Structure 1
Amino acid sequence: MFRAARGFDSSPLYRHLLAVVADEPALVELAERTRPGQQPTFALFGAVHQLLLGGVTDPLAAYYPSVVGARARPVDADTGRAFTRFCLAHADRIAAILATRLVQTNHVQRSLVTRLGLALLRSATAAPVCVVEVGCSAGLNLRADRYAFSVGDSTVGDYASGGRWSPRGGSRVHIRVDVPDGRLLPDLDRLPVVADVVGVDLDPPDLTDPEDRAWLRALVWPENAHQAALLAEAMRVVADDPPRVLRGDVADIGAEVAASLPAGLPRLVVHTATRIHVPVDRRPAFAAAVAAFAADGPMLHLALEDDHRIAPSGRAGIGLTATDAAGSRRIAVADGHLAWLEPLPELGTPIVLGAPK
């Protein structure tokens, strides 16, 4: 699992540690304490990071820019030994974190998927819409209408007057996404009225709880200071006005959630990097529960889950799939953390609302 792991391009430290763990049976055994369905790579690295950010003093901290800043040591011959010593010395504390925590959505850049879905729905209907996010964590991405976005050469969303984003005049959360060619994108400033917003998560973090906030912070990779800053700002924004988030497995409570939405209204259902954390034997039930949201209203379903796809530029990323009444199609390829997004021609296909095929 560690040797074959992908997607750690923005963390040289974690890329190095993948091989370290894979070659050390004691570390593999420790990582296997992760809860069923969760990815041991993210969970183990997050648990270690949480301890270091929480003040545990150890030579390993010298390799973490998130802990020591610009003084961080580059990966060297001692990195693996330091990580192994730390994990074995704190195995009980790490195991306790792995037994109680889930890998949670923490990349606010992915809220662009929600905003894109809203814009696509507005191009198809003037009706108010309902927004559902499956695997929503603390609901940060459900507040996509509260953030500013620089998408390619354009700035959209909650920015200051005059079209220029300013921390004094617009949202405290400013998300930048590299989009080489935005001509296929819909108007991201033309959104529908949102009638209802709800998220579903197995164990939604409480943004008023310092330990929950610390766990979300620990899941941001050590080198990704910009993502950490975005997360901190988004947590403040959402804590001031949290969306409705329900605890449970969508396969178990999906019908209840769907019934709580205004009947007949279009609904946007989104999940990003969620299915990877669903146990394989539960994935058919997960898919069925998501599809069932179309029972009481026309649905657009966006999923950033289609792994190992190549963008038109040649970059390796994740496919963004749209499903409506006409079927499913891949509309973009994106970086897993939404640092970049490359639209595909299928993004220009009109959304079809109605009974799904």
Structure 2
Amino acid sequence: MGEVGEIAEVFRTARGFDSSPLYRHLLSVVAQDRALLELAAGTRPGQQPTFALFGAVHQLLLAGTVDTLAEYYPSVVGARARPVDGDTATAFTRFCAAYAPEITALLGSRLVQTNHVQRALVTRIGLALLRRATPAPVCVVEVGCSAGLNLRADRYGFTLGGTGYGQPDASVWLHVDVPDAHLLPDVGKMPEIAEVVGVDLDPPDVTDADDRAWLRALVWPENAHQAALLQAALDAVAADPPRVRRGDVVDIGADVVASLPAGLPRLVVHTATRIHVPVGRRPAFDAAVAAFGDGGPLLHLALEDDQRVAPSGRPGIGLTATDPTGSRTIAVADGHLAWLEPLPAMREVRLDG
């Protein structure tokens, strides 16, 4: 993955772990321990070693590995989990040493594919923006789609700013704190969808127990609500999986563009994906995404713009919209979409250039 010093810096400077006191503590533990850093170095190129190492350890514990470290994981022992204390670092370090071969195998074979279902709101907003801009059927593409759960955003229910949208009996229902929800397009009205396709380097199979276990392990130990949403979405999508292409969008993007109905508007979305693209490959990634506009009018939404501040003062991630008129930040959100604060610029999105 990189030199030990570089990996230590990644752990020292990592942000966005606010909902996991355990992981916030372990970031500094790993950053100061050479053996742990060398273990994390087994993460596949482009992947974030923080998420990968913590996910690998979590999967072993969820699978039933018996160790005192499990006492700190609410996902394993429930409400009786121990808070972070003076023994946490020792327990984690010892566990990683004892199970280094198993952790190394997971780091070398798995990708960080968090697939937080709350992020489906980005796709839902994009669909509403397209419906506002055009009466035409639309194509939906998600780059870095993992198991494709968020490609079914049109079938999920949402509570935004206290108002519900979608079918009341939807099996997946997302609650997002959205102040100033009047700035949103009407997310209750969906356009006709002509085509849905995802692109992922190594898409998990929603019907495979091992793949499902890995996705579950990437949900942080304290985030029981996210874990429940993941389970519900996995079950829903397994009944009707979207089309997902295996590969790098840089290499197969042109083929995906050619497979879409020509001339129809397309929504291309990626959330917390570009961060996992090796730095030297990011210009090619950006060009491949932009090339989807060669086949029809393009709206590109990216939840990737780190270190933004919402109007309320909350630190978050910028949601960027790129249309034929240019790019603008249309909202600031929590990385896991627990909240989203829309900006007036959301009203400026258009497709007519």
Q: Does residue 348 of the first structure (1) align with residue 351 of the second (2)?
A: no
Q: Which residue does 2:327 correspond to in 1?
A: 328
Q: Which residue does 1:266 correspond to in 2?
A: 265
Aligned-partner Cα distance in 2 for 1:35–1:270: 24
**TM-score normalised per structure 1:** 0.96
Aligned-partner Cα distance in 2 for 1:105–1:140: 11
Aligned-partner Cα distance in 1 for 2:90–2:324: 54
Offset at residue 105 of structure 1 (A)? 3.2
Q: Which of structure 1's runs of 4+ aligned residues deviate more than 4 A?
A: none
Kindly report which structure 2 residues correspond to 1:1-357, keeping only aligned pairs within 5 A, or say none. Answer: 1-159=10-168, 170-354=169-353
**Partner secondary structure for residue 43 of structure 2:** coil
Q: Which residue does 2:5 correspond to in 1?
A: none
Offset at residue 123 of structure 1 (A)? 0.4
Offset at residue 353 of structure 1 (A)? 3.5
- Give a deviation string over 1:75-123, Cα, whole Å, max 9, x none: 0000010000000100000000000000003200000000000000000
Aligned-partner Cα distance in 1 for 2:287–2:256: 14
Aligned-partner Cα distance in 2 for 1:185–1:209: 37
- Give a deviation string over 1:128-148, Cα, whole Å, max 9, x none: 000000000000000001111
Which residue identity lines up with residue 68 of structure 2 in the other structure? P
Which residue identity lines up with residue 337 of structure 1 in the other structure? H
Aligned-partner Cα distance in 1 for 2:89–2:279: 31
**TM-score normalised per structure 2:** 0.97
Question: Which ranges in structure 2 are unaligned for 5 or more consecutive residues?
Answer: 1-9
Equivalenced residue count is 344
Aligned-partner Cα distance in 2 for 1:124–1:175: 25
Aligned-partner Cα distance in 1 for 2:103–2:115: 20
Q: How much identity, in percent, do the aligned residues show? A: 75
Which residue identity lines up with residue 211 of structure 1 in the other structure? D
Which residue identity lines up with residue 190 of structure 2 in the other structure? L
Aligned-partner Cα distance in 1 for 2:245–2:347: 33
Which residue identity lines up with residue 192 of structure 1 in the other structure? P
Which residue identity lines up with residue 184 of structure 2 in the other structure? L
Offset at residue 241 of structure 1 (A)? 0.1
Q: Which residue does 1:163 correspond to in 2?
A: none
Aligned-partner Cα distance in 1 for 2:352–2:100: 52
Aligned-partner Cα distance in 1 for 2:234–2:352: 34
**Partner secondary structure for residue 187 of structure 1:** coil
